[in-house]
Amino acid sequence: MTRPTLLLSLLLAACGGAGKTEAGGDDLRPALAESYADIVVASMADSLTAAADLDMALGALRAGPSEATLAAARDVWLESREPYLQTEVYRFYDGPIDNPDDGPEGYINAWPLDEQHIDAVVGDPDAGIINGTDEINAALLLAANEAGGEKNIATGFHAIEFLLWGQDFDPAGPGARPYTDYLTDGSATAPNGDRRALYLTTASGLLVDHLDQVHRAWDGGAHGQAWGDDPDAALEDILTGMIVLSGFETGGERLQASLDSGDQEDEHSCFSDNTHRDMVQDVRGVQNVWRGSYTRSDGSVVSGVGVRAVVEAQDPDLAAALDAQIDESLALAEALQPPYDQEIAPGSPGNARVQALIVSLRAQEQLLFEVFDGFGLSVVIPE
């Protein structure tokens, strides 16, 4: 899904003192809100830096299409996913990434993607914006994103992924778009190589802009300045992101849906066969918030008070159970074997690995619901 439509109802229970967590007389929730903001700013900064590196690599591909520049661009795309996926736990509570007014998440990581909305596909060589006549610019791509249907994705990571790898017809590996698709001379393997290259760099420029928008909102922007003024509301938001990413999004939309269909088109990064890393880093993002610690791309660590400390002060047994469950989910995500389309192939041994991760994430979701109950909160997620 591009962005699940969630009607979240978060209500403080009307019972005196519910949700108060005391540790040595000190309420840990203000410190949690501060630490969470520090982790958000650091991880969004890493995502922005990685997107800028990707933009440079795509510019080099456009300036000089070759096996080397295409391979380098693919490598940088893969690298750019590592920090970004850890930020997805900051979604689902109408924050800067996905608020209904100007949240850019639908322009950043929307999926699944209908390839022929962008470019030629097997059986339709004239398809897509690239083979049209409209001037390719940022305004066109923004207007085209989800125009006519939620799978008509025109921007973000997965549009760039498709343009780098092409359709994936290899059961043992990713797509194999040749660099000659970007040429304009007699050795070109597809028409409109110049428009394809322009589309690529236009999309990458937008990706940088949108990640910068989110980073600035947290780092000195209005959202970041107000964040933590109400520690109870901050706790609600933090836990909502953890719950929905664990169960509804990763366990459901990304894993269960693809396992049920067995269709390669339903995997999250289907062109590059990077879906296994998507799952690992989504779970790691939850673990970062739980522990209050994020390891930056340069190896430095940002740490403080995590949700674990707040829960442990009220219910040590629940904190220990959730700690172990998140560790299990991460280990099971790391056990997935690429390519993911073979993990979900009907009858594949990989089905059991995917199912085990789903079960673990659902258990993780339920324990997080118990945390909500313990703080006198409730969350309602539609079927």
Question: Domain locations in the chain?
Answer: 22-374
What's the pLDDT score for residue 21? Answer: 37
Give 137-181 pLDDT, tens digit per residue: 999 999 999 999 999 999 999 999 999 999 999 988 999 999 999
- Does 291 have pLDDT greater than 70? yes
Please report how the helices 350-374 and 307-314 are oriented relative to each other, as an axis angle in degrees rounded to 10.
Answer: 60
Helices 307-314 and 275-291, packing angle to 10 deg = 50
Q: For 19-23, 152-156, 296-300, which range has the lowest pLDDT when averaged over its residues?
A: 19-23
Neighbours of 19 (CB within 10 A): 18
Q: Please count the residues of the chain.
A: 383
CATH architecture of 22-374: Up-down Bundle (1.20)
Between 281 and 14, name the one with better pLDDT: 281
Q: Is the pLDDT of residue 16 over 80?
A: no
SS3 of 338-383: the string is CCHHHHCCCCCCHHHHHHHHHHHHHHHHHHHHHHHHHCCCCCCCCC
pLDDT in tens, 94-123: 999 999 999 999 999 999 999 999 999 999
Cα 294 to Cα 292: distance, rounded to the nearest angstrom: 7
Residues forming beta bridges with residue 301, ordered by sequence position? 295
Residue pLDDT, tens place only, 38-48: 999 999 999 99
The SS3 of residue 27 is strand
